[in-house]
A and B are shown apart, each in its own frame.
Chain A
């Protein structure tokens, strides 16, 4: 089982990101669950959501405590939340950032999802949309296929720029 924890801020689309990622994994023919953690969220507050992907039906409903991959959609969260908590020793970290992030002993990857969203004018209510490009970066890491990411996004959003953003992140992420 591959376990992913997504850190974002309320209103940033972390829950939708988890759902889209699970949808892409299921399009790859795998079992997947997306579990948003519902607390007393407010817009802007740090939130987490979880995705599990497996070849077998998934029977776990509790929160992910030992993730294989941590995704951070807003790097400023790392000032207030220990995003590395429980991360497996060979686990990976993907950060939405313009500059490299050295994840003390963990393999860190970075990609400028915000920049990609702005370059495509993918902005809703003043906020750049970072969750759909995030899927492209995760595809580049080999966790889901890019075709399934395209399908999952196109099935959910009519605006083509979401797929374009995912493709841009796929191109830009260095693995």
Chain B
């Protein structure tokens, strides 16, 4: 198997604050990496560096054989990295369906001239988008398809997370970055989320997923490759059992005193 994403010695500073300190890791095609760590450890910052929201102070990000360090977000998405946000960022005044269609932006071509002078071409492309979006909405758990004409802002929390994932998948990514997908879900919904991800991988064996998670229930479901970050540094990496047993990880989560007690 080949390496899909490679992050090498990435450091990012905001003024005096070192948000990420010399972080390196890589992910293979078709695998899942779970990133854990306490709040404020730099997990979301890592996503922002990979997707081009932040430009790292130093270090390199290589995706699918091309260096993408500091490339603009729209180019990164075009290359095949899609993400969801920790605090779900849906287009709340647009319908569920429109949210997913917007996710296909990089896979559609209609420009101003086509839209104005070749409306037939533009409409066919849009019809195709609608069809694909509807099938994406039918795919996941929950009943997003039935709610497709609701404004996204009125969805329940679990549905918002599901819609974020559907929107991210709409761009046909090679790498999917999920930022705490289980936030606001109860146990049943979390289990449904886990089986959604498992099914997704079965259907697209080449799809790689990086998960930021606090819910160990989810991490436990993808135990092969886990990385722990604390204070911007990678402190442990390996399978779930190894990382969980690592004293530094326990320290990061429970505090020094608790571990040595």
Is chain B found bound to chain A in the same assembly?
A: no
Chain A interface (Cβ < 8 Å from any Cβ of B):
none
